[in-house]
Amino acid sequence: MAKKQQNSKQEIANFLGEMISFRNALKLTHWSITGKGSYEAHISLDQAIDSLIDITDRLVETTFSLEGTLDIVIPATSKPSNYIQYIEGFYKQVESKREDLFKENFSQSIIDDAQEAVQQLLFRLKRLE
């Protein structure tokens, strides 16, 4: 396998691991959020997590069908100190990598679904502030 293709496969595997880590960070936030609007935030976070579980699974399976099995490693995950900023940063990270890593329209469409879920979450959480 050519070196460039190996690097690309590893970058894709890293990206998929980061998506799973992001979901886990949202769950850590869900468990620790308190105060005014916390119930609504819990519901919003759970909805986003549920959507992202399905979306990530679709993207991983589609990618495996195209690239073969990848060695996905999930980075260490901690609860973000500023969850709004963390979510916005993840959105930007996905946007910056999507076209470089995923050339097929159908893979990018799955990523669109992830970005939509993240934007809906941001809308809901910011309305509670």
Spatial CA neighbour of 68 closest among 6, 21, 122, 114: 6
Q: What is the pLDDT of residue 129?
A: 76
Quote the CA–CA distance of 6 and 87 in Å, as a whole number: 29
Asked if residue 1 has pLDDT above 80, the reply is no
Angstrom distance (rounded) from CA 53 to CA 87:
16
What is the band of 72 on the pLDDT scale with cuts at 50, 70, 90?
Answer: very high
pLDDT value at position 128? Answer: 86
Q: What pLDDT sits at residue 118? A: 98
Environment class of 2 (CB within 10 Å of its CB; exposed 0-12, middle 13-18, buried 19+): exposed
Looking at residue 2, what is its pLDDT?
Answer: 52
Whether residue 95 has pLDDT greater than 70: yes
What value does the mean pLDDT take over residues 95-118?
Answer: 95
Residues 6+ apart with CB under 8 A from 88: 122
Q: Tell me the average pLDDT across 15-39.
A: 95
What pLDDT is stored for residue 23 in this prediction?
A: 97
Read off the pTM. 0.90
Whether the pLDDT of residue 28 is over 60: the answer is yes
